[in-house]
């Protein structure tokens, strides 16, 4: 029954059929104290409950979204602060270490500790060569020889 222009009400074998034109609505309107009953149940009251629930869900979503956005911003700020602090702390430590190494190389005490370190590395290399097959070492192992 597509393409008709007028609304129709029809009964067939005890069935009530409502036909409306394409793009048209079926509307039920009551007076001030009227009701629309479906199997003896007032569906106007059910409709009102559904509308109220929809409004409450929308409000809850808005509140929850705002709270989640606040929490995300606070957490992000905390993490940024911690990361920046850690990076700054590491940079300061590296700068201090570099300053110590630079100062140590120029002083006699620094040269002595550098020689001790070289001797220890040499001893470690000797101990390792006892356990490692020398043939498996890379051809360019000059960096292993410490004078």
Per residue in 38-68, pLDDT (tens digit) is 888 888 888 889 999 999 999 999 999 888 8
- CA dist 100 and 96 (Å) reads 6
Query: pTM of the predicted model, to two decimals?
Result: 0.36
Residue 55 has a pLDDT of 92
**pLDDT < 70: residue spans in the chain:** 1-4, 84, 101-112, 114, 126-147
Q: What is the pLDDT of residue 120?
A: 76
What are the E-state strand segments in the chain?
8-12, 15-19, 37-38, 41-42
The answer to whether 9 touches 18, Cβ cutoff 8 Å, is: yes
CA distance 145 to 142: 5
Name all contacts of 111-118 with Cβ < 8 Å and 24+ positions apart: 118/146, 118/147
- For residue 17, which of 29, 1, 34 has the smallest C-alpha distance? 1
Instruction: Using alpha carbons, list the distances in angstroms from residue 89 to 59, 80, 102.
Output: 45, 14, 20
Residues written for the chain: 147
DSSP bridge pairs for 38: 41
Give the mean pLDDT of the chain: 76
For the record, the structure tokens of 31 come out as: 């007076």
Residue ranges per domain, the chain? 36-144
pLDDT at 145: 45
Cα separations (Å) of 47 from 28, 72, 106, 117? 12, 37, 88, 84
> What pLDDT does 80 receive?
75
Q: What pLDDT is stored for residue 57 in this prediction?
A: 92
What pLDDT was estimated at residue 142? 47
């Amino acid at each position: 029954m597509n393409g008709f222009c007028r609304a129709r009400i029809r009964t067939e074998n005890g069935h009530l059929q409502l036909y409306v034109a394409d793009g048209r609505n079926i509307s039920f309107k009551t007076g001030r104290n009227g009701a629309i009953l479906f199997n003896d149940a007032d569906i106007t009251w059910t409709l009102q409950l559904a509308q109220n629930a929809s409004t409450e869900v929308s409000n809850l979503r808005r509140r929850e979204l705002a709270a989640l956005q606040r929490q995300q911003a606070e957490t992000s700020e905390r993490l940024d602060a911690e990361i920046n602090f850690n990076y700054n702390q590491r940079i300061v430590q590296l700068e201090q270490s570099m300053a110590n190494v630079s100062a140590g190389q120029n002083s006699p005490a620094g040269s002595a500790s550098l020689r001790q370190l070289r001797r220890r590395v040499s001893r470690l290399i000797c101990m390792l060569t006892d356990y490692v097959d020398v043939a498996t070492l890379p051809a360019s192992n000059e960096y292993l020889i410490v004078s």
